[in-house]
Amino acid sequence: DAGVIQSPRHEVTEMGQEVTLRCKPISGHNSLFWYRQTMMRGLELLIYFNNNVPIDDSGMPEDRFSAKMPNASFSTLKIQPSEPRDSAVYFCASSPGTGIFDGYTFGSGTRLTVV
């Protein structure tokens, strides 16, 4: 299995531009999570999907952030318009299910820099 695949690995964009981060979860995994990691705030859960349905988006910082999961093999996180404070590493993770024994497999992350 190729693991969780995220693209791009690095993204540099100008303030005000739209940014789209992509994630392909492990085949057969029913849950997908988007996290943001910064030095100041650590790992923050942004949104969680189960069977392609958003379950908890309370971590999405504001309306500029949106996430979709149109099918079981693809998810996007979009920031529009982007701001310098959005600069962070964004991780996608997937999990086989919602059991207490189901750990997460993380992608390699997307390092976003907004200038």
Question: Under the rule (CB under 8 A), what is the footprint of other proteins?
Answer: 33, 42-43, 45, 48, 50, 55-56, 89, 91, 93, 98-106, 108-109, 111
In the complex, the smallest distance separating the C-beta of residue 16 from other proteins, rounded to whole angstroms, is 26
In the complex, the smallest distance separating the C-beta of residue 13 from other proteins, rounded to whole angstroms, is 19
Task: Show the DSSP H helices in 1-115 as ranges.
Answer: none
Which one, 79 or 92, has the nearer CB to other proteins? 92
To 10 degrees, the CA torsion angle through 3, 5, 9, 11? -160
